[in-house]
Chain A
Amino acid sequence: MTENRTRALLHWLLGGWVLLVILAAFFYAPSASGFKGESARIVFFHVPQAWVAVLAFCVNLVASIRYLRKRNALDDARAAAAARLGLIFSVLATVTGSIFAHVMWNSFWNWDPREVSIVILLLIYAAYFALREAIPDEERRASLSAAYAVLAFVTMPFLVFVVPRIYWSLHPDTIIGATGKLKLQMESRMLQVLFGSLAGFTGLFFWLYTLDVRLARVRLARRGREEA
């Protein structure tokens, strides 16, 4: 009962926080100079979506490694849940990035290295589910998709750090630049909203992830009872 109340309270807090971030993105953060109209405000949603897509990839990796070590079906469900959300958030990051590119440069797609990075991440997620759907046997599906997830994660640093450094990019340099020094070239109110949004989207991800995992736990328990 107490657990349910805490959960309900956390949900309300998360909802309130996300609502606050949306309002702050439009009314608290100042307009950015050098951008068309109010287009720069999309950064408060686009960057957290891309961050959650990468976070989901990391959660997927951890759950996959745990599955390979312990062979617990719930870890496979955790990996799949993270990948499902990662796929959704990488689609959202791609769409919001494209909308911004169209407003700024009159083109939905510019083959920028970071655009390509997020699309490859999307392709990896899609391939992960294509692999899962191709294997009817549950244990084999879990172990092979976990192996693929680990393998795919190896290419990730090259997509995020190496390829964007070989090619010129429309995106601003990452927060930590090539010299290793911290680069924060944003007005402080904009930074507050951006970090607030990052926290909100991270909370949203973990809420959706927990829902999916709880559902999987119930399914596994029911099947266990049926088999017993």
Chain B
Amino acid sequence: MRSSTLLSEILAVLAKELTAELRSRVALNAIGLFGLTTLIAVAYQIGPYQIREADRPHLLSALLWIILFFAATSGLSRVFVKEEDAHTAKTLRLAARPLAILGGKYLFNLILLVGLYALIVPLYCALMGYAVRGVVGLLLVLVAGAVALAATTTIVAAIIARASGSTTLFAILSVPLVLPLLVMLIQGTRAAAASSELAAVLPALQGIGSLGGAVMIVSVYLFPVVWHD
């Protein structure tokens, strides 16, 4: 009974987030346009022929995640900052329990990230001539990456919203936490591009999954402190 109530609260928070975002489209525009602009700049200046064959596996996977991560940071912090800006945080505190708010906001950030990946990754592969042998492996890395990245950025967004709401602070706080994850994501993407075997991406997936899971569990305990203090 209680878990179904929690689920319905999470879905209600998610629905509220989606409605508010579709009305203003601030995060969607920021993430989408930042991603596209960076992709165009990289593709125009580097393109498929500027990188030597031997360097392609390293550089192309790293460039892809630099574009994806920095595009994501431009919009993911808004999920909590907008509540403080619009003075709606107090109402939200009364309307739903902390876990439901964290869950709803996490799912919203996850949807934003999946949308960003769906837009940027195919375009990147086409514009940069990035041939991926293990498409299923890459999809798994992208999904695991979105799940773990959304977990870290959502709790950091909650912290900075209660601190000063500055997006600069969001980057300062999230970059050191996300770096190990980015290293594993780049390694996993490189492995997926080189081999169609799922075993090739397994070490990276284990690392990404365990880091994402650990951050999620800690977030569940920390969020009530961050949200109510």
Contacts and interface: CB of A to CB of B under 8 A. Distances in A.
Interface of A: 68, 116, 120, 123-124, 126-127, 130-131, 134-135, 139-140, 143-144, 146-148, 150-152, 154-155, 158-159, 162-163, 166-167
Contact of A147 (B172, B187, B211, B226): B226
Given A140-B229, A151-B219, A166-B204, A124 B180 contact: no
Q: How would you classify the secondary structure of chain A's contact residues: helix, strand, loop or mixed?
A: helix
Contact of A144 (B162, B175, B180): B162
Q: Count chain A CB atoms within 10 A of each CB in B159, B176, B187 and give the residue with the most.
A: B176
A174 B204 CA distance: 21
Nearest to A125: B176
B179 interface: yes
Contacts of B210: 158, 162
A154 B172 contact: no
Contacts of A159: 180
17 contacts: A120-B180, A127-B172, A131-B159, A131-B160, A131-B169, A139-B229, A140-B163, A143-B226, A147-B225, A151-B159, A151-B222, A154-B215, A158-B184, A158-B207, A162-B210, A162-B211, A166-B184
B163 to A, nearest CB: 5
Contacts of B164: 134-135
Interface string B167-179: 0010011011101
Nearest to A160: B180
B26 interface: no
B207 A162 contact: yes
B225 A68 contact: yes
Given A131-B163, A144-B162, A123 B169 contact: no
Given A130-B173, A134-B163, A144-B226, A151 B187 contact: no
Contacts of A151: 155-156, 159, 177, 215, 218-219, 222
B129 interface: no
B122 interface: no
Contacts of B19: none
Contacts of B184: 158, 162-163, 166
Nearest to B171: A127
Interface of B: 155-156, 159-160, 162-164, 166, 169, 172-173, 175-177, 179-181, 183-184, 187, 203-204, 207, 210-211, 214-215, 218-219, 222, 225-226, 229
Ranked nearest first, the 9 interchain pairs of A and B with the lowest CB-CB distance are A123-B176, A143-B229, A158-B180, A134-B164, A124-B176, A147-B222, A154-B214, A134-B163, A127-B173
B162 A140 contact: yes
Contacts of A131: 159-160, 163, 169, 172-173
A166 B205 CA distance: 12
A158 to B, nearest CB: 4
B137 to A, nearest CB: 16
Given A127-B172, A140-B163, A163-B183, 19 more contacts: A68-B225, A124-B177, A130-B169, A134-B166, A134-B169, A148-B173, A151-B215, A151-B218, A151-B219, A151-B222, A152-B177, A155-B181, A158-B181, A158-B184, A158-B210, A159-B180, A162-B210, A166-B184, A167-B187
